[in-house]
């Protein structure tokens, strides 16, 4: 069973779905809200949603957010996608990677195009930061929720990176 909830951020309401193992999906804000008639599956699901909501609120306020610590339900992914997504979670805020390099780091050095397809299927954007993947020439490339969102997320990543470095010094 899956639990659904909303994270009300400065940029809109994100629909979050979680199982007892972790976050299953995050949907970007739209003009229409989905029905929240899915029953609670466990206390763990609720904790995952609350943790994700807290992280998204901090992120969209431009504050440092520990998004990499939010559990994801990895069982929903095949081996290829899981390896791509796990490698991508190691790319820190404020940094980017190209599709080919992500393919190489994931153990699939000739699969840059397949990496792009996997990122397009990513049901957990922001937690699996597919917005940090650029084309080899440095241009933005695509993004499942639109280039405007990709630009916004990259900008917020840079703010987080600056905040982290100020606190470290």
pLDDT exceeds cutoff 60 at 120: yes
Q: Catalytic: which of 51, 124, 130, 153? A: 130
Task: Provide the pLDDT confidence category of residue 162 given band limits of 50, 70 and 90.
Answer: low
User: Which H or E run contains 61?
Assistant: none
Mean pLDDT of 86-100: 94
* CATH code given to domain 77-168: 1.10.10.10
Residue 130 among the catalytic residues = yes
pLDDT exceeds cutoff 50 at 164: no
Q: Which residues contact 141 (CB under 8 A, 6 or more apart)?
A: 99, 116, 133, 134, 135
- Which of 21-30, 58-67, 68-77 comes out lowest in average pLDDT? 58-67
* d(C-alpha 153, C-alpha 69), whole Å: 18
Question: Which residue ranges make up each domain of the chain?
Answer: 3-69, 77-168
| Residue 146 CB neighbour total at 10 angstroms | 11
Q: What is residue 89's three-state secondary structure?
A: coil
Please report the pLDDT score of residue 46 as a whole number.
86
What digits encode the pLDDT tens for the residues 36-46?
Answer: 444 445 677 88
């Amino acid at each position: 069973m899956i639990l659904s909830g909303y994270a009300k951020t400065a940029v809109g309401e994100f629909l979050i779905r979680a199982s007892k193992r972790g976050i299953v999906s995050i949907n970007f804000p739209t003009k229409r809200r989905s029905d929240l008639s899915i029953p609670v599956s466990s206390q763990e699901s609720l904790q995952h949603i609350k943790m994700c909501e807290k992280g998204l609120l901090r992120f969209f306020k431009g504050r440092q957010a520990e998004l990499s610590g939010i559990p994801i339900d990895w069982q929903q992914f095949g081996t290829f996608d899981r390896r791509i997504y796990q490698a991508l979670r190691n790319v820190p805020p404020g940094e980017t990677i190209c599709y080919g390099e992500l393919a190489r780091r994931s153990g699939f050095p000739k699969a840059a195009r397949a990496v792009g397809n996997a990122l397009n299927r990513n049901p957990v954007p922001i937690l699996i930061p597919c917005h940090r993947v650029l084309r080899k020439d440095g241009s933005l490339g695509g993004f499942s929720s639109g280039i405007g969102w990709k630009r916004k997320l990259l900008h917020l990543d840079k703010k987080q990176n600056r905040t982290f470095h100020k606190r470290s010094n």
